[in-house]
Structure 1
Amino acid sequence: MTTLVRTDRREPTGGASREPAGLSTTSGVAAVTVLTSLPVFLPGAANGLISAEFGWSSVRMGAILAVYWLASLAGAFVSKRAALPAAVERTLAVALFATCLGLLAAAAAPAVGLWVSSAVGGYAYGYTQPHTNALLMRRCAPRLRAFAFGLKQAAVPAATLLASVAMPVLAGPVGWRPVFAGTAVLCGVGGALSVRHGPGAGRHPTGAPRGRGDPPGRDPFLMALAGAGFFGAMVGNGLGGFLVLALTTRGMALATAAAVATAGAALNIAVRLTMGWLVGRLPQLAWAALLGLFVTGAAGTALLTRPDGASATVGALLAYGGGWGWAGLLHYVIGLPYAGQEQRATAYSQMGVSLGAATGPLVCGLLFTVAPAAAWWALTAAGLGAGVCVAVARGRAERVRV
């Protein structure tokens, strides 16, 4: 077993000394995360419109969403084996340009382009996530790292929120294709800005000392938290892909269902930011917070099995807030013991997240056509499984202060 070492007293040098808090790095990373997440959340929000136009089943749309996360898994795997480049901003720019081209393909030729957009966008997302995790660890002040991870991961539900708002507001007047094309333009602009004014442009990101943690391998600590990411991502991305559809099939108006999803995404953002802020000040709460979020999410998905709209609304909020509010803490906890190896360590958690994110929509798509309640029970079991993985990881991390 890899020996875990305490790293909470480590003070960053180099780039971090020139940018004490690292908030500009965090905001730039969050913007990249929002844009590279949209190739999966835009189709999820437009699920009903696209399926009605082409006569597609929920299974096919679930498969398109799954492709994104399988490609993300491949990207994270490649990132695990890659060295952190001197100019990470160039890597982020390439990812944004690739995302731009994928979204344009989806708008121009949906029958093929939606698959292309998911594959290209997913790979770009998975490859860049461990890179940006390393940036946060090395450029942010120690007390602000947990909040920085929370802010970065809050960008994911922010993407869901933007997609949920864009579809009922914009898709009605102009159609869903122009929404995809407009998002592609934003990605292209973001890529150009990342090259010229990206987070910490012109600075080498490796200011943190190296060699204080063993090279990450198949350690039980890493594997357990990768498992937590797998089960937790099943919940979050199952919600992102099928919540609006599930609510509308119960008779709820599209605008109302979108409002519930939007409220859930907003709550999720608040939870990720709050947990990051709290753990930054009370590091000993990290494990209890992780476990509590997973259990809360499981309670929420269980409520989604109820037929009445009130229970479904409360369940959606609990599922979004708890069942998807853990991501920042997970990547923070898994990267903390591996000074100088944060990118490769968090690649394991990202691979778990990506695999779970592919599995969740696929399982929901298969079960939803048979019995919608079965899909939510499956996600409830996944949330409880994530909690078990956290408990196992906590037992392996006795020497880590987080």
Structure 2
Amino acid sequence: MTKIRFTPGPVGGVLATTIAVVLPGFLVGGLAVQIGESFPLSPAQLGIAISVYFGVSALASVPAGRLVERHGSGPTARAAILLSAASLLAVALLANSALTLTLLLAAGAGANALGQIAGNAALARHAPPGRQGLSFGTKQAAIPLSTLLAGAAVPTVALTLGWRWAFVLAALLALSALPLAPSAPASRRAPGAASGRGAAAGLVVVAVAATLAAGSANALGTFLVDATVARGVDPGPAGLALTLGGAVCVAARVLGGYLADRLPDRQLTVISAQLIVGAGGLALLTLGGNLVLITGVVLGFGLGWAWPGLMNFAVVRLHPQAPAAATSVTQTGVYAGGCLGPLTLGFVATHFGYTTMWLAAASAMLGAALCMALGAALLRRAHPAT
């Protein structure tokens, strides 16, 4: 039997693919102020656009998992990159209202689900057990890295060339990931491998926790710039605050994955603790002062949004025979949060203000911490080694 060796290639390819497929949603959030200068875009409309993007991703997640298991991660990752680049170009050329922006994002949302799940499959089948945590942490670090790029695009591109050129450049960046697309063979086993009723119940509870946590944490990437500008901060520094949060989250996800390989049996409990601290960071965003703002951003991004790689790591350890199909179920929870969070929190921000919105997001994140702890207990009962 040929032994699969783990090299930097698969991780780099997964990272490049993930950045390419998540850019559309995060770039809209980061450039919301500049987009709103071209056509009306209220917080509620912005929330609807982002929620539709993640809602379509949620609906596409399970079918995407089946496609990856059937055809392998190489062809599916490349298809996802092309779809994402087409979506970015379409927004740059055709978006002229909140409605068209929403429809164009929805058209490319399947790339998000397909590309991320293809990456999960590639890492699960290439990374040895002693490095899977680091691999998934690095892969998920691509999400806040996209937020970092979106924040950096405000002062470097959107305020100089215009926001449409930022989307054109993002499309070219996405296409550059094509030669790096990861590969993993199609599954030769049925994707519905059983893990026991207790484990299934635990995964459902974890998915609910992911919905609440993702809904809260997505508010950072979607509304942070606009909320900061509403408090009197210039758009440039506001974008840099988003950039700082993205950088902190990149480091936290990679470090968390590294530590997960050394303590693999309690990762869901670790996530629960992270979410409690992250909720405190969201609550701090209701207060004034630059130092408090920076502290809230660091805690909210660094701990409240650092958990998806750890969750995928735990799920893959439970379902090594069909990682794409298994993580597609939990990714549905993440995407459902991405859908419901901006929609509900955007409504709250529009009608009650950003202070109330941040408090609502912090409360939801505390609920996610409780659900994650319950899911961890259920999974430990069904699989003592998890």
Using structure 2 for the length normalisation, give the TM-score. 0.92
**Residues 270-308 of structure 1: CA deviation (Å, up to 9, x unaligned):** 110001000101223423321121111100011111133
| CA-CA distance at 1:109 after TM superposition | 1.2
**Residues 210 and 337, structure 2, Cα contact 8 Å, conserved in 1:** yes
| CA-CA distance at 1:91 after TM superposition | 1.0
Corresponding residue for residue 60 of structure 2: 75
**Residues 105-162 of structure 1: CA deviation (Å, up to 9, x unaligned):** 1111113652243113321111332332122111101000011000000000000000
**Residues 213 and 337, structure 1, Cα contact 8 Å, conserved in 2:** no
Corresponding residue for residue 46 of structure 1: 31
Corresponding residue for residue 206 of structure 2: 225
| CA-CA distance at 1:39 after TM superposition | 0.4
How many angstroms apart in 1 are the aligned matches of 2:215 and 2:196?
25
How many angstroms apart in 1 are the aligned matches of 2:69 and 2:192?
17
Corresponding residue for residue 140 of structure 1: 127
Corresponding residue for residue 276 of structure 1: 257
| CA-CA distance at 1:336 after TM superposition | 1.3
Corresponding residue for residue 18 of structure 1: 4
Which residues of 2 match residues 1-400 of structure 1 at below 5 A?
Answer: 14=2, 17-19=3-5, 21-82=6-67, 84-111=69-96, 113-191=100-178, 193-194=179-180, 198-200=181-183, 204=185, 206=187, 214=194, 219-369=200-350, 370-398=352-380, 399-400=383-384
Can you give the 5+ residue segments of structure 2 that lack an aligned partner in the other structure?
A: none
Q: How has the CA–CA distance of structure 1 residues 364 and 309 changed in structure 2, closer, same or farther, with 3 Å as cutoff?
A: farther
How many angstroms apart in 2 are the aligned matches of 1:358 and 1:309?
30
| CA-CA distance at 1:243 after TM superposition | 0.6
How many angstroms apart in 1 are the aligned matches of 2:276 and 2:355?
19
Q: Secondary structure at the match of 2:160?
A: helix
**Residues 62 and 325, structure 2, Cα contact 8 Å, conserved in 1:** no
**Residues 99 and 120, structure 1, Cα contact 8 Å, conserved in 2:** no
Residue type at the aligned position of 1:401: A
| CA-CA distance at 1:83 after TM superposition | 5.8
**Residues 39-74 of structure 1: CA deviation (Å, up to 9, x unaligned):** 001110111111122122111111111111011101
Q: How has the CA–CA distance of structure 1 residues 80 and 206 changed in structure 2, closer, same or farther, with 3 Å as cutoff?
A: closer
How many angstroms apart in 1 are the aligned matches of 2:278 and 2:139?
20
The number of residue pairs the alignment matches comes to 380
Q: How has the CA–CA distance of structure 1 residues 211 and 139 changed in structure 2, closer, same or farther, with 3 Å as cutoff?
A: same
| CA-CA distance at 1:206 after TM superposition | 4.5
**Residues 275 and 289, structure 1, Cα contact 8 Å, conserved in 2:** no
Q: Secondary structure at the match of 1:138?
A: helix
**Residues 102 and 120, structure 1, Cα contact 8 Å, conserved in 2:** yes
Aligned-residue CA RMSD in angstroms?
2.2
Q: Secondary structure at the match of 1:173?
A: coil
Structure 1 residue ranges, 4+ long, deviating more than 6 angstroms after superposition = 209-212, 215-218
| CA-CA distance at 1:29 after TM superposition | 0.8
Residue type at the aligned position of 1:380: A
Residue type at the aligned position of 2:4: R
**Residues 68 and 121, structure 2, Cα contact 8 Å, conserved in 1:** no
How many angstroms apart in 1 are the aligned matches of 2:15 and 2:67?
22
**Residues 58 and 113, structure 2, Cα contact 8 Å, conserved in 1:** yes
How many angstroms apart in 2 are the aligned matches of 1:113 and 1:212?
38
Q: Secondary structure at the match of 1:52?
A: coil
**Residues 150 and 275, structure 1, Cα contact 8 Å, conserved in 2:** yes
| CA-CA distance at 1:215 after TM superposition | 6.2
How many angstroms apart in 2 are the aligned matches of 1:71 and 1:379?
22
Can you give the 5+ residue segments of structure 1 that lack an aligned partner in the other structure?
A: 1-12
**Residues 69 and 191, structure 2, Cα contact 8 Å, conserved in 1:** no
How many angstroms apart in 2 are the aligned matches of 1:354 and 1:229?
9
1:401 aligns with 2:368: no
Q: Secondary structure at the match of 2:176?
A: helix
Residue type at the aligned position of 1:214: A
How many angstroms apart in 2 are the aligned matches of 1:374 and 1:382?
12
Q: How has the CA–CA distance of structure 1 residues 78 and 18 changed in structure 2, closer, same or farther, with 3 Å as cutoff?
A: closer
**Residues 67 and 358, structure 1, Cα contact 8 Å, conserved in 2:** yes
